[in-house]
């Protein structure tokens, strides 16, 4: 292992920043992201982020983090922050309170490091959080309802699968009255300790349990099939009356689980490799996801959003996939719904972009995932410098593909028909760093684990000519991969 950040560089950085990445590099050709996660994080708070393209090839980098310098939990009117042994509240809605909190950090942008590695926050905003900054009727948000959770991790690892090396980062905080050289030496010592840990053989979770050989009972916690079909008809009545053009109605499923939570991520990344794969351990709650859909991204002062609408199940072979793709592209209902959501994306991006800079850079492309075929587009715009990353997120939140059009009225109808808080589902998960970068995906194809309960939610976009039975089947098709993962991990103990 080699320390790449010198004391001289660190002291110079300390004149302009209060959180600095001390970086080391080591060979990691004998490890996988999964084995590194077990060694680095184990059962502690932390995360892993990975990516795979539409051809199921894993991306160049995997990101891991642990040992939070701070954790934050968002509620209706404040965010509660815990830093080591100190806890305090920041008053405001989740977005404004988090903006205030991250504004205290100033880092050095190191071009050799990927985004987030110079310091940043990872976590999620729940769908229901929109009710705290947008005037939407029907949001009954209890004071104790969690609307977001975030981690600022001290120890970060980025795995380079091309070079078979990894960078190990320790974020050092510059504090008044504390010697800068001593702070640097502490960070180097921390890196050496972590590296010794990473050289050891990994041990699986202490909380791993025996396989569950009983039949898995998945409870439809919201509507029954008949209730869902009825709600589709009600939604179509709203469309016929001119209230909305489209609305996304979701169902929620729950079941008891007995296996270690990370096992579900291990299986999900195998059966459903996706552009946004994540496992985040916040303590009592874990998010296990493989989302295909970006909500919003900021890179090089450009804002991107990536509407996905239009779905077919995968075929048994390439010929069937081609037929299903042709059917999707020639379906007037699917194309009209997609075009509507692209327009909604243009409007969202336009609100925070330089006038005249918004472009549709992809339109109605086809992407194949493990269980479904999707129609996708991309909208981009130059960010207006008066806005911060979380302003951009608020402008695009929630995704039109998870709410409808017009958004506000669609959300009001969702509140009336679904009957439960969506929680993380339909919100956003990802990171925003201290250099102005942000990458948030839509929280779909995700298993929310609350202690020993797994929660799966999926939805379908309802338009004027929707067939209720078809929409219900789409909901089940989207949930299929999560059901498969839960059943296999619980019954087969595949991770031994």
Output the pLDDT for position 218. 62
CB-facing half-sphere around the CA of 357: CA atoms within 13 A: 18
Please name which of 269, 274, 410 lies closest in space to residue 337, comparing C-alpha atoms: 410
From the list 312, 346, 409, 445, the catalytic residue is 445
Active site residue 461: yes
From the list 107, 461, 472, 495, the catalytic residue is 461
Active site residue 269: no
Output the pLDDT for position 211. 46
Please state, in angstroms and rounded to a whole number, the distance separating the CA atoms of residues 336 and 379.
17
Enumerate residues 6+ apart whose C-beta is below 8 A from 230.
none
Please state, in angstroms and rounded to a whole number, the distance separating the CA atoms of residues 287 and 280.
5
Q: Is 29 within 8 Å of 164 (Cβ atoms)?
A: yes
Please state, in angstroms and rounded to a whole number, the distance separating the CA atoms of residues 34 and 13.
33
Please state, in angstroms and rounded to a whole number, the distance separating the CA atoms of residues 99 and 105.
11
From the list 37, 425, 431, 472, the catalytic residue is 425
Per-residue pLDDT of the chain (496 residues; tens, 9 = 90+): 999 999 999 999 999 999 999 999 999 999 999 999 999 999 999 999 999 865 555 678 999 999 999 999 999 999 999 998 899 999 999 999 999 999 999 999 998 899 999 999 999 999 999 999 999 988 889 999 999 999 999 999 999 998 999 999 999 999 988 899 999 999 999 999 999 999 998 776 555 555 444 555 566 566 789 999 999 999 999 999 999 999 999 999 999 999 999 999 999 999 999 999 999 999 999 999 999 889 999 988 899 998 888 889 889 999 999 999 999 999 998 898 899 889 989 999 999 999 999 999 999 999 887 678 989 999 999 999 999 999 999 999 999 989 999 999 999 999 999 989 999 999 999 999 999 999 999 999 999 999 999 999 999 999 999 999 999 999 999 999 999 999 999 987 565 5
Please state, in angstroms and rounded to a whole number, the distance separating the CA atoms of residues 319 and 334.
21
Output the pLDDT for position 462. 95
Please state, in angstroms and rounded to a whole number, the distance separating the CA atoms of residues 273 and 255.
23
Active site residue 266: no
Active site residue 401: yes
Q: Is 234 within 8 Å of 448 (Cβ atoms)?
A: no
From the list 371, 374, 421, 422, the catalytic residue is 374
Token readout for 395 is 């402008």
What domains are defined for the chain? 2-199 (3.60.120.10)
Token readout for 491 is 């019954």
Please state, in angstroms and rounded to a whole number, the distance separating the CA atoms of residues 381 and 361.
10
Active site residue 425: yes
From the list 401, 446, 448, 495, the catalytic residue is 401
């Amino acid at each position: 292992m080699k320390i790449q950040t010198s004391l001289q560089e660190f002291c110079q950085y300390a004149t302009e920043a209060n959180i600095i990445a001390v970086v080391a590099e080591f060979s990691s050709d004998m490890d996988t992201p999964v084995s590194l996660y077990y060694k680095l994080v184990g059962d502690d708070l932390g995360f892993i982020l990975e990516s795979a393209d539409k051809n199921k090839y894993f991306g160049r980098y995997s990101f891991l983090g642990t040992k939070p310098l701070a954790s934050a939990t968002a509620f209706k009117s404040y965010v509660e922050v815990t830093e080591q042994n100190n806890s305090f509240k920041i008053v405001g809605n989740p977005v404004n309170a988090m903006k205030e909190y991250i504004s205290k950090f100033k880092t050095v942008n190191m071009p050799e490091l990927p985004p987030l590695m110079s310091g940043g926050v990872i976590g999620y905003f729940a769908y229901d959080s929109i009710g705290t900054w947008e005037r939407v009727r029907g949001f009954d948000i209890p004071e104790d309802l969690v609307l977001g959770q975030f981690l600022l991790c001290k120890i970060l690892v980025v795995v380079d699968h091309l070079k078979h090396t990894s960078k190990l980062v320790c974020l050092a905080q510059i504090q008044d009255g504390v010697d800068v050289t001593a702070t640097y030496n502490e960070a180097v010592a921390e890196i050496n300790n972590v590296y010794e840990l990473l050289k050891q053989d990994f041990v699986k979770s202490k909380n791993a349990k025996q396989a569950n050989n009983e039949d898995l009972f998945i409870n439809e916690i919201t509507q029954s099939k008949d209730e869902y079909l009825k709600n589709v008809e009600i939604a179509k009545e709203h469309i016929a009356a001119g209230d909305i053009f489209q609305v996304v109605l979701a169902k929620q499923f729950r079941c008891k689980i007995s296996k270690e939570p990370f096992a579900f991520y291990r299986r999900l990344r195998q059966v459903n490799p996706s552009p946004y794969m994540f496992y985040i351990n916040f303590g009592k709650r874990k998010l296990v996801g493989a989302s295909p859909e970006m909500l919003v991204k900021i890179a090089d002062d450009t804002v991107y959003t990536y509407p996905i609408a239009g779905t077919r199940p995968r075929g048994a072979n390439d010929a069937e996939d081609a037929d299903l793709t042709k059917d999707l592209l020639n379906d007037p209902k699917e194309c009209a719904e997609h075009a509507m959501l692209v327009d909604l994306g243009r409007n969202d991006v336009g609100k925070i972009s330089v006038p005249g800079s918004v472009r549709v850079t992809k339109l109605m492309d086809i992407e194949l995932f493990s269980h479904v075929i999707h129609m996708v587009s991309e909208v981009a715009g130059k960010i207006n410098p008066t806005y911060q990353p979380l302003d951009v997120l608020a402008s695009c939140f929630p995704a039109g593909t998870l709410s409808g059009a017009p958004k506000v009225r669609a959300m009001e109808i969702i509140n009336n028909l679904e009957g439960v808080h969506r929680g993380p589902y339909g919100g956003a998960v990802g990171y925003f760093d201290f250099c102005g970068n942000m990458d948030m995906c839509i929280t779909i194809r995700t298993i929310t684990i609350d202690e020993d309960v797994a929660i799966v939610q999926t939805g379908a976009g309802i338009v004027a000519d929707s067939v209720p039975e078809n929409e219900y089947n789409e909901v089940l098709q989207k949930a299929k991969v999560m059901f498969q993962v839960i059943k296999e991990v619980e019954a087969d103990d595949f991770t031994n």
